[in-house]
């Protein structure tokens, strides 16, 4: 809660609240669309489902020492950040199923953790050995 340490926080933060909370609608729409995608495509392709509750955790609002405003913020952040991690896991499993080849190594690019078991970029020999000419 770094915001509590900024002396000029009240005015600046007052103006940021609408921008932060207007994201609720797109986040809810993303959640709905992602869940439909996840349930339909993963079941049809027999990809193991992602356990939602492992990613979206809303529990800090139960802390008695937080003010009501902080509890709402903590619930919102737990949901939004958990949904982002859930989305990344679903996207990663999708990529592994449909592609499974790492991106080309480039300076400054971050390798996605789910790509660690992917085939190396440009490794045609291993690709053909594993998948043939399908």
Q: What is the pTM of this model?
A: 0.84
Residue 3 has pLDDT above 60, yes or no: no
For position 80, what pLDDT does the model report?
Answer: 97
Answer whether residue 113 is part of any domain. no
Answer whether residue 74 is part of any domain. yes
Answer whether residue 86 is part of any domain. yes
Question: What percent of the chain lies above the pLDDT cut of 90?
Answer: 63
Query: How many domains in the chain?
Result: 1
Pairwise CA distance, residues 111 & 131, whole Å: 23
Answer whether residue 114 is part of any domain. no
Answer whether residue 108 is part of any domain. no
Read off the pLDDT of residues 55-112 as tens digits, 9 standing for 90 and up: 999 999 899 999 998 899 999 999 999 999 999 999 999 999 999 898 888 888 888 8
For position 31, what pLDDT does the model report?
Answer: 98
Answer whether residue 63 is part of any domain. yes
Nearest of 109, 111, 63, 58 to residue 86 by alpha carbon: 58
> Please, which pLDDT band fits residue 1 given cuts at 50, 70 and 90?
low
Answer whether residue 37 is part of any domain. yes
Q: Which domain holds residue 86?
A: 2-98
> Please, which pLDDT band fits residue 5 given cuts at 50, 70 and 90?
low
Answer whether residue 58 is part of any domain. yes
Per the DSSP assignment, residues forming a β-bridge with 101 are 119
Number of Cβ within a 10 Å radius of residue 14: 9
């Amino acid at each position: 809660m770094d915001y509590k340490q900024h002396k000029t926080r009240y005015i600046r933060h007052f103006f940021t609240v609408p921008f932060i909370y207007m994201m609720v609608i797109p986040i809810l729409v993303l959640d709905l669309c992602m869940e439909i995608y996840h349930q339909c495509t993963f079941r049809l392709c027999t990809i193991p489902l992602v356990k939602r509750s492992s990613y979206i955790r809303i529990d800090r609002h139960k802390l008695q020492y937080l003010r009501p405003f902080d509890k709402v913020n903590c619930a919102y952040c737990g949901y939004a950040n958990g949904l982002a991690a859930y989305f990344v896991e679903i996207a990663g499993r999708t990529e592994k199923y449909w592609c499974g080849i790492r991106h080309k190594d480039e300076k400054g690019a971050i390798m996605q953790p789910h790509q660690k078991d992917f085939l190396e970029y440009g490794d045609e020999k291993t690709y053909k050995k594993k998948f043939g000419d399908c």
